[in-house]
Structure 1
């Protein structure tokens, strides 16, 4: 994922690099990709499990 973000960043116009601070770009590359990875790895499976539990509970009550 970081590679994709990096590839996207290097193709941005020069104006972008003039307007955005270096620290902000580094933060986006490092922290934001980690947060998205954690979301995909943890939250989505947990939501799927919760939905299955809800459906199972409703079926059990019928």
Structure 2
């Protein structure tokens, strides 16, 4: 495996972060028994993808110089 990708594109990293977040929420008393970690991870990844697309579009529209 020689190809690399940014950490934020890794489903494993996101699933691990969700697991840590739900475990931490459970420790502090937030009710998390009914959460489906896989569905939550997929939902967050879709939201992040949509947000990054919007940032790219608005970043390009607001740019002051051409892409060379």
Which is helix-richer, 1 or 2? 1
Counterparts of 1:1-62 in structure 2, within 5 Å, are 1-11=10-20, 12-13=23-24, 15=26, 19-20=31-32, 21-23=34-36, 25-40=37-52, 42-52=53-63, 55=64
| TM-score, normalising length: structure 2 | 0.49
Higher Rg of the two aligned structures: 1
Structure 2, unaligned runs of 5 or more: 1-9
Structure 1, unaligned runs of 5 or more: 57-62
Residue 26 of structure 1 deviates from its aligned partner by 3.4
How many residues get paired?
51
Q: For the aligned residues, what is the CA RMSD?
A: 2.8
